[in-house]
Amino acid sequence: MPHNLCYEFGPYHLNVSKRVLTCAGETIALTPKATEILAILVTNAGQLVEKDELLQAVWPDTFVEESNLAQNVFILRKALGDDRAVPSYIETVTRRGYRFIASVRVVDLEECNGEDLRPEVVTSEIQLPVIAVLPFLNSTEDADWEYLADGLTDNLINDLSRVSKLRVMSHSAVARFRAKDVDPQQAGNELGSTAVLVGRLNLRNSRIAIGVELVNASTGWQMWGESFDSESQDILQIQDVITRQVLATLKLQLSGEEEKRVTARYTENAEAYQSYLEGRYHWSKYTRTGINKAIGHFRHAIGLDPNYALS
């Protein structure tokens, strides 16, 4: 999410850079995790943010009970004087997640102090590029490759969202385009994005080929495109190349800290990474069969790399 913005909703100001919530110039005490959750909800105002998405973003690479998320949302509601039954700010979507329903506007950082509120400076930070990574399509006619399409989509969204000068549409926002061969320009216009990244898995001489293109949402023109052979390049390499090419095409410079976050790897073993993706795909089905398959893939990944914490 962008880290240099301030958001105003009701009498509150949220300084995302400093992770500070204020009301009438007074700082409201929040735990770091509660503040992070609020920042995610506010920057995705009006959109459903899934529980899994919040858990992964706020507690990355750590298993936590869903009750931890619920407790932090409770803290937020108490701080905002919100009512779960009749919410003004945070709406609970049963069994799915949360939605920030209050009107939100982006303001100049100076306004976070509650002084000199000038409408003319409201749009000073809004010109950040916005990208939508549409769910990659599995065109192999083999359902066994669905895990790879889903894994690439999720991880590219996560990697790109670590760049402060880029806004990335959430998983829940692009989910409705899953398994649809849509027009990227139309999807971009519907989502309000600057650019759209689309990908497709195809079989080429019994090998998986991954084709991607970055499309200008205003004109429909291709900004960048490439096809990758999964045998000549492993999935980790392909994912890194796509991320870097998108950022280069959008002319975004990374800070040293962002470079570390975007290029961070939890394993250098490509087979272990691919086994982890397959395990996560089966786990996400929330069925007994799916969980059992997931355990098998996670164990295989651990066997290949005993230090692979995600598995």
pLDDT tens string 100-150: 988 888 876 665 654 443 333 333 334 578 899 999 998 888 888 888 888
Residues 210, 97 within the same domain: no
Give the residue-averaged pLDDT of 82-95: 85
Residues 135, 258 within the same domain: yes
Residues 119, 170 within the same domain: no
- Identify the pLDDT of residue 232: 61
Give the residue-averaged pLDDT of 206-228: 90
User: Could you say which of 73, 99, 125 is where a domain stops?
Assistant: 125
- Identify the pLDDT of residue 204: 81
Give the residue-averaged pLDDT of 191-207: 87
Residues 28, 78 within the same domain: yes
Look at residue 82 and tell me if it is in a domain: yes
Residues 205, 287 within the same domain: no
Domain that holds residue 286: 270-304
- Identify the pLDDT of residue 120: 37
- Identify the pLDDT of residue 278: 86
Residues 149, 259 within the same domain: yes
Percent of the chain with pLDDT strictly greater than 90: 17
Instruction: Tell me the helices (H) and strands (E) count for the chain, helix number first.
Output: 10, 14
Q: What is the pLDDT of residues 249-292, one digit of tens each?
A: 998 887 777 777 777 777 888 888 888 888 888 887 778 888 88
At residue 70, what are phi and psi to the nearest 5 degrees?
Answer: -60, -40
Question: Token pair for residue 37?
Answer: 């959750």
Residues 155, 208 within the same domain: yes
Residues 34, 69 within the same domain: yes
- Identify the pLDDT of residue 229: 86
Residue 168 near residue 161, CB atoms below 8 Å: yes
> What is 21-67 written as a DSSP string?
EEETTEEEP--HHHHHHHHHHHHTTTSEEEHHHHHHHHSTT----HH
Residues 121, 134 within the same domain: no
Look at residue 29 and tell me if it is in a domain: yes
Look at residue 73 and tell me if it is in a domain: yes
Look at residue 311 and tell me if it is in a domain: no
Strands 137-138 and 195-204: parallel
User: Could you say which of 109, 125, 141 is where a domain stops?
Assistant: 125
Residues 253, 281 within the same domain: no
Give the residue-averaged pLDDT of 72-89: 87
CATH of residue 33's domain is 1.10.10.10
The total number of structural domains that make up the chain: 3
CATH of residue 148's domain is 3.40.50.10070
Look at residue 309 and tell me if it is in a domain: no
- Identify the pLDDT of residue 160: 87
Taking the alpha carbons at both ends of the chain, their separation in whole angstroms is 26
- Identify the pLDDT of residue 109: 62
> What is 141-191 written as a DSSP string?
S-GGGHHHHHHHHHHHHHHHTT-TT-EE--HHHHGGGTT----HHHHHHHH
Look at residue 1 and tell me if it is in a domain: no
Residues 142, 247 within the same domain: yes
- Identify the pLDDT of residue 81: 87
User: Could you say which of 75, 100, 125 is where a domain stops?
Assistant: 125
- Identify the pLDDT of residue 275: 86
Q: What is the pLDDT of residues 132-144, one digit of tens each?
A: 999 999 888 888 8
pLDDT value at 92 more than 50: yes
Percent of the chain with pLDDT strictly greater than 70: 91
CB pairs under 8 A, 24+ apart, for 273-277?
273/234, 273/235, 273/236, 273/301, 274/148, 274/234, 274/235, 275/300, 275/301, 275/304, 275/311, 276/301, 276/308, 276/310, 276/311, 277/147, 277/148, 277/150, 277/151, 277/155, 277/235
Average pLDDT value for the chain = 83
Please enumerate in sequence order all residues whose Cβ is within 8 A of that of 191, keeping only pairs 6 or more positions apart, or say none.
Answer: 130, 132, 169, 173, 174, 217
Residues 148, 241 within the same domain: yes
Sheet holding 48-50, edge to edge: 48-50, 97-100, 90-93
